[in-house]
Structure 1
Amino acid sequence: MICCKECIDLLHDYFEGALDQETKNSLEEHFQDCPPCIAFLNTYKSTTTLCRETLNQIEIPDEVRRALQNFLKEHKIQQKKM
């Protein structure tokens, strides 16, 4: 079974549909038994949705968008190394 830290680490891939079926099932099983992770999941989902909606409404220069994407990718890579 997946622990809370693993659950948090997998959230992005979960929302992007990038998990294999077994991992997805384990994650969803964990959500059923862990109210704190469900609360975190709901907050993460709301925040992600709000950010996407906001970014779609604001014209961001390509240079800034690329810099932000590169920063986020690098941050994600560093998180996985931990």
Structure 2
Amino acid sequence: MNHSEFINKCKELVAEYANNHLDVTDKANITTDNVFVVWSCKTLQNSKALLSTTLSDGMYYECTLNGDKKEIYFDAYKKWENKVIKV
């Protein structure tokens, strides 16, 4: 799986997850067009991507491709807080 195929698969996984976990009152249908890549990288046969959707639900997603095992690991996170700390 090349990096472009990996990114497309990640967008499919995020859209599917978001649609399966939406509250019924949200009345939204997430497609891959509503999923965007925040960051991605490819190192040797492995890839990683951080993604989010256009929903204002504070969720973000991490997909990691283990190229040796041909497996994608999928994590879903909820953003609880974002604050500035002066140092």
TM-score above 0.5, yes or no: no
Higher strand share: 2
TM-score by length of structure 2 reads 0.27
Higher helix share: 1
TM-score by length of structure 1 reads 0.29
**Higher RCO (Cα < 8 Å, 6 or more apart):** 1
